[in-house]
Amino acid sequence: MTDPRPFQPRSFRAWPARPHRAALLLAAALCALSGCHKNAATGTNPNSLAPTPAPLPPVPTASLTADPLAIDLGQSVVLNWRTTDANNVTIDGIGPVNPNGTQTVAPSTSTNFHIVAKGDGGTTEASVRVTVRVPVAPTAPADTGAADMGSEAAFHDNVPDIFFDYDSYDLRPDAQAATVKASSYLVAHPDIRIVIGGYCDDRGSAEYNLALGENRANAAKTALVNAGVAPARIRVVSYGKEKQFCTDETEACWQQNRRAQFSLDR
């Protein structure tokens, strides 16, 4: 059967509004965004937590000069060196030295002086070259067929004895100059043969002074050979303290006994 009641449209009920829930969601979103920004802005940088590395020690510096840079044989030069940040400084031929200083040296040949400065920061080196001018020996005269021995007086005037410091056989500057003069004369008189006698003062044992006298004679021979005199022309002998030129117990007398004496080997 047909419903006799007239048709009436069904009204739809609206969902209830929930404004408080939307507000909460918005606030939570804003809070989250604000909090992330704050953490990013005020958070701790992980790199700042690493320990600060210790500074490296400074590298040493070194300089070495010589005044003058060129000398004649027998002259001396003054070495001058300066270093920084070094705790160990050495110079070849001299040994350990203070970080800063000067020293007078008398090289017998052209020499490269070399300094090494070591410190906590590493090693630094420097060098300076000193040129030693050695006189050129004169050209020997042509052989005339007769031996040119020269006179005894001329020999001793041109080949003088040389003297040494106590307990030493190193050639002093005056001895180096004397051997240069002697070599020039001997090269000009190639027929001359010589004997070099080594002498000592009377202090010390006989055995020790025999060895010291031989070292002094050989030091004089080496200087002549380096200057151009043939080794076969030179003979050495040591008298130690057995032959004294002076017997006083004074330094002046002892000095006279510390010598290398040059004689004609006839």
- E strand or H helix that includes residue 91: strand 88-91
Of 35 and 243, the one with more pLDDT: 243
pLDDT given for residue 12 in this prediction: 45
Q: Which residue has the higher pLDDT, 25 or 135?
A: 135
The predicted structure's pLDDT at residue 123: 95
Average of per-residue pLDDT values in the chain? 83
Q: Which residue has the tokens 């001895």?
A: 175
23 occurs within a structural domain:
no
Residue 31 in domain:
no
Identify whether 4 is part of a domain: no
Question: Residue 132 in 3-state DSSP?
Answer: strand
Are 129 and 87 in the same domain? yes
Could you tell me the pLDDT band of residue 40, with boundaries at 50, 70 and 90?
very low
- Clarify whether residues 77 and 172 are in a common domain: no
Q: Which residue has the higher pLDDT, 37 or 238?
A: 238
**pLDDT tens column, 42-89:** 556 666 666 778 899 999 999 999 998 999 988 888 899 999 999 999
- ∠ at Cα 230 (226, 236), nearest 5°? 85
Does 251 reside within a domain? Answer: yes
Instruction: Check which CATH number belongs to the domain holding 70 and give it.
Output: 2.60.40.2470
Q: Are residues 168 and 234 in the same domain?
A: yes
Gyration radius (Cα) of the chain, Å: 47
Q: What is the rounded CA–CA span in Å between residue 210 and residue 236?
A: 12
In a shared domain, residues 159 and 127? no
* In contact, 209 and 240? CB cutoff 8 Å: yes
244: number of CA atoms within 13 Å, CB side? Answer: 13
Single residue among 133, 164, 185 that ends a domain in this structure = 133
Same domain for 222 and 121, yes or no, is: no
Q: What is the reported pLDDT for 75? A: 86
Lowest mean pLDDT among 42-51, 149-158, 249-258: 42-51
**What pLDDT sits at residue 42?**
53
Would you place residue 33 in the very low, low, confident or very high pLDDT band (cuts 50, 70, 90)?
low
pLDDT over 90 (residue 15) = no
Strand order in the sheet with 234-240: 162-163, 259-264, 194-199, 234-240
Would you state the pLDDT for residue 52?
77
Find tokens 């000069």 and name the residue: 65
Q: Which of 69, 101, 133 is the last residue of a domain?
A: 133
Would you state the pLDDT for residue 46?
63
* Cα separation, 143 vs 232, whole angstroms: 18
CB atoms within 10 A of CB 213: 27
**For residue 69, what are the domain limits?**
61-133
* Pair 126, 157 in one domain: no
Q: Is the model's pLDDT at 14 over the cut of 50? A: no
Query: Does residue 113 carry a pLDDT above 90?
Result: yes
Provide, rounded to the nearest whole percent, the portion of the chain with pLDDT above 70. Answer: 76
Same domain, 156 and 255: yes
The total domain count for the chain is 2
Shared domain check, 123 and 212: no
| Order of strands, sheet of 61-67, starting from the edge strand that comes earlier in the sequence | 61-67, 77-84, 101-105
Question: Do 222 and 129 belong together in one domain?
Answer: no
- Whether residues 244 and 166 share a domain: the answer is yes
- Domain identity same for 167 and 260: yes
Query: What per-residue confidence (pLDDT) applies to 88?
Result: 95
Q: Tokens standing for 81? A: 């060196």
pLDDT at residue 5 is higher than 90: no
- Using a 10 angstrom Cβ sphere, with 0-12 exposed, 13-18 middle and 19 or more buried, the burial of residue 67 is exposed
Picking from 133, 164, 190, the residue at the C-terminal end of a domain is: 133
